[in-house]
Amino acid sequence: MDPVTNEQEAAPSTGVRTTEPLTQHVQRANEWIRDFDRRHPLLWDTVFTGFWTTAALIDWTGGGWRNVTHNPDTPGPLLLVLSLGLSVPLLWRRTHPGTVMAAMAPFAVVNAWSGATLQAALLQLVVIYHMALRRPLRDLWWATALMLTPVTVSTARYGEGQWSQQIGSYVTSVGVAVLIGVTIRTRENYTEALEDRARRLETERDQQARIATAAERARIAREMHDIIGHHLSVITGLADGGRYAATRSPDRAAQALDAIGTTSRQALGELRRLLDVLRDDDTALPAERNPQPGLTDLDRLVDGVRAAGLPVRLITEGRPSALPPGRELTVYRVVQEALTNTLKHAGPDATAEITLVHGDGGAVTVTVTDTGRGTPLPSPTDGRGLPGMRERTALYDGTLEAGPRPAPARGWRVHLHLPEEAPQ
């Protein structure tokens, strides 16, 4: 559909074709000029200075200066020097306005003293405008004094008109130039502050996005570690047991293979659900919304570990209470990780015991012990097991202790405590 059709549909009742307001054209042209000036400042300054220098020379050669002069007999070479001295310094008005004002002041004083009264002296108003725009405002005092000096000299020397009229009109012109410069300066500072704030907000937004991405990656890595690590440990245990049973009891070996298949399918299903959630393309199938495991799934977890060859005893104390899904998932994952590490590191003939204590207000205490070799858990730089458990525990202001059991007992101990839920 072409733009004309869009405009006609936008205003079907009037039948009038909408056009852009004139202000938009002016704003677009202004932005183009500003952008060109930023990219080619010297070119613009040269054109600006050349225009006013040419105007000053035309005023001299054309005789226009004689209409306001006090001394028609001013020598031509002096007029040429004054015209150039009052116009050429404009080339540096934006970069060094204070220096330009000081350089033009002697020519302005000579212009007033000689009686030539060239109109090029008014170009000092352009310079004081740039001083108000870029220099500290305290510099305007001495710049104003330099600009008032020529008019004071002219009034004192030739005595035409009253002092108040001569100086008052010049002060008014200086005040208007300063006011314009200060106004534009204030607007530029305000615009710069808004742009800086927008940049900081954009940077903060990007940082928050990166932090959120890193946190989500860590969560996904933790979930995949818990899911895949546990199931692979169970599969490894079943495979080892099946290998020994293959020569002595084919029936037990077949059972081990069946358990391996079941465990593998469970791991694959959980992994597929996790990856389906991450897909955001249009071809992704709707992810299955199965609930996360909780305390009711501990029996199935224990059965799977027992099938892998690790005897596990589950003891529950206290009256179970309904817990938020997040707290139940934390308890489940900590128990799962502790049993996984027991399968990996405890060695043969090890046993494990889980004690689950329900307290008041949703408090939960879990202790997982084994009778293995007491091999330390991987360090935080070697894996995600212990760091993952600590991260989950910290979400609910809980405490987690993991380490060898005190002598003379052998094995490893993981102790989790989640305090009471804070009242809403």
| pLDDT, tens digit (0-9, with 9 covering 90-100), for 303-331 | 888 887 788 999 998 888 778 888 888 88
Give residue 368's pLDDT: 92
Residues 6+ apart with CB under 8 A from 387: 380
Give residue 240's pLDDT: 66
- Strands lying side by side in the sheet with 399-404: 312-317, 352-358, 364-370, 412-418, 399-404
Give residue 90's pLDDT: 92
* Boundary of a domain, candidates 123, 138, 160: 160
- At 126, the pLDDT band (50, 70, 90 cuts) reads very high
Q: What is the CATH number of the domain that holds 377?
A: 3.30.565.10
Domain count along the chain: 2
Give residue 30's pLDDT: 79
Q: Is 365 left (phi over 0), alpha (psi -120 to 50) or beta?
A: beta
Domain that holds residue 32: 20-160
Max mean pLDDT among 51-65, 216-230, 236-250 falls in 51-65
Residue 366 lies in a domain: yes
Q: What is the pLDDT of residues 99-108, one digit of tens each?
A: 999 999 999 9
State yes or no: pLDDT of 301 exceeds 60. yes
* Cis ω before 97 (30° cut-off from 0): no
- At 158, the pLDDT band (50, 70, 90 cuts) reads confident
State yes or no: pLDDT of 287 exceeds 50. no
Residues 6+ apart with CB under 8 A from 319: 358
On average, the pLDDT of the chain sits at 79
Q: What is the mean pLDDT of residues 177-205?
A: 88
Residue 50 lies in a domain: yes
* Boundary of a domain, candidates 130, 160, 190: 160
Give residue 378's pLDDT: 47
Q: What is the mean pLDDT of residues 271-275?
A: 66
What is the per-residue DSSP string for 155-191?
HHHH--S-HHHHHHHHHHHHHHHHHHHHHHHHHHHHH
Identify the residue with better confidence: 420 or 82. 82
User: Two tokens at 105?
Assistant: 């002041």
Residue 176 lies in a domain: no
Residue 219 lies in a domain: no
Residue 122 lies in a domain: yes
Q: What is the pLDDT of residues 5-63, one digit of tens each?
A: 444 444 444 444 455 677 888 888 878 887 887 888 888 889 999 999 999 999 888 88
- Which of these ranges, 140-154, 245-259, 295-309, has the smallest mean pLDDT? 245-259
Phi then psi for 2, rounded to 5 degrees? -85, 170
From 181, 202, 11, select the one nearest 97 (Cα to Cα).
181
Residue 387 lies in a domain: yes
Residue 83 lies in a domain: yes
Q: What is the pLDDT of residues 352-407, one digit of tens each?
A: 999 999 988 788 999 999 988 755 544 443 445 677 778 778 888 889 998 888 87
Give residue 12's pLDDT: 45
Identify the residue with better confidence: 338 or 377. 338
Give residue 100's pLDDT: 93
Sign of CA dihedral 170, 171, 173, 178: positive
Q: What is the mean pLDDT of residues 337-348?
A: 82
Q: Are 363 and 327 in contact (CB under 8 A)?
A: no
* Boundary of a domain, candidates 101, 127, 160: 160
Residue 136 lies in a domain: yes
Rounded-to-integer distance, Cα 160 and Cα 361, Å: 98
Q: What is the mean pLDDT of residues 208-229?
A: 72
